[in-house]
Structure 1
Amino acid sequence: MAATNAKSVLFVCLGNICRSPIAEAVFQKMVADAKVADQWVIDSGATSDWNTGSSPDSRGLACLKKHGIETSHRARQVTKDDFQTFEYILCMDENNLSDLEKKAKSVQSAKAKIELLGSYDPQKQLIIKDPYYGSDKDFETVYEQCVRCCKAFLEANS
């Protein structure tokens, strides 16, 4: 169980089966390796409800496994409560950002800081493109971006 003063982050993409579960799994491993997992609440979600309850894309799972990372995440849609309970909501592209900002306006006492995960990328790749219609190489690119961004985000919040 996380400490009551734990930091919290929700990773978000359109369907919560490709980019955001990769980011969540990468960050989970990073905080575990840094021995600070007890200081974080970490989850991921979708702006849409299309894949609710589904496992991550098999190509994303294969990519994570190749890098020694496992996840048992099931897709879920972002809720109004998420804007009140998470400190950070980090999303993948401008459409996610716009959808989240719109939803946040309807939430009283929303406290989450909504940002693009790519804003933390030292290589300045602001957008993490959806690999769904792409190849295994596209999932690897997402993984590499998530590693860079999550490392910088963790450093900024340590």
Structure 2
Amino acid sequence: MMAAGEVKSVLFVCLGNICRSPIAEAVFRKLAIEEKVEDKWMIDSGAVSDWNVGSLPDVRALSCLRNHGIETSHKARQVTKDDFLTFDYMLCMDESNLRDLKRRSNQIKNCKAQIELLGSYDPENQLIIEDPYYGNDEDFETVYQQCLRCCKAFLEKPH
């Protein structure tokens, strides 16, 4: 368990930070608020690539979140060297993200972040959260449901 006043931090990561990771970030924030632990968490999301820096999430991601009563004003950003030093957890969506993050973390002294697949927390064992970018609304809903299951399980585990 966490000591009183101790803040934990989690960074959700995907390729472009406009579909999967902002959904995960928004879902986790809502769960933290519902559990009244939002002041115990620093929550953010970022991208492996620099393709969408400064952009709002994909309209389909925003619409999917809105369907579940969640708003987000997140703007895409790329993961920085500092993220590896400040975040306790970096939870990413697929093997390619995992490889990229691990490779970068190897070049950083005193890397603090535990780098894992968000799907490793899925009670339904869906390890990979597939990129819905080239898919349809149903694919975004699938991402949402996976993020919801994983974030719940992650939040419930002792940190």
Q: Secondary structure at the match of 1:77?
A: coil
Q: TM-score, normalised by structure 2?
A: 0.96
Determine the C-alpha separation between the residues in 2 that align with 1:66 and 1:129: 20
Unpaired runs of 5+ residues, structure 2, are none
Q: TM-score, normalised by structure 1?
A: 0.97
Determine the C-alpha separation between the residues in 2 that align with 1:149 and 1:6: 20
1:139 partner letter:
F
Q: Corresponding residue for 1:110?
A: 111
Q: Give the fraction of aligned pairs with identical amino acids, expressed as a percent.
A: 70
Deviations 1:107-148 (A, max 9, x none): 111010000000000000000000000000000000000000
Work out whether 1:12 is the aligned partner of 2:7: no
Q: Corresponding residue for 1:157?
A: 158
Q: Corresponding residue for 2:23?
A: 22
Determine the C-alpha separation between the residues in 2 that align with 1:110 and 1:119: 21
- 1:157 Cα shift? 3.3
What's the RMSD between the two structures over aligned residues? Answer: 1.0
Unpaired runs of 5+ residues, structure 1, are none
Deviations 1:57-81 (A, max 9, x none): 0000000000000000000000010
Query: What is the aligned length?
Result: 156
Work out whether 1:131 is the aligned partner of 2:132: yes
Q: Secondary structure at the match of 1:97?
A: helix
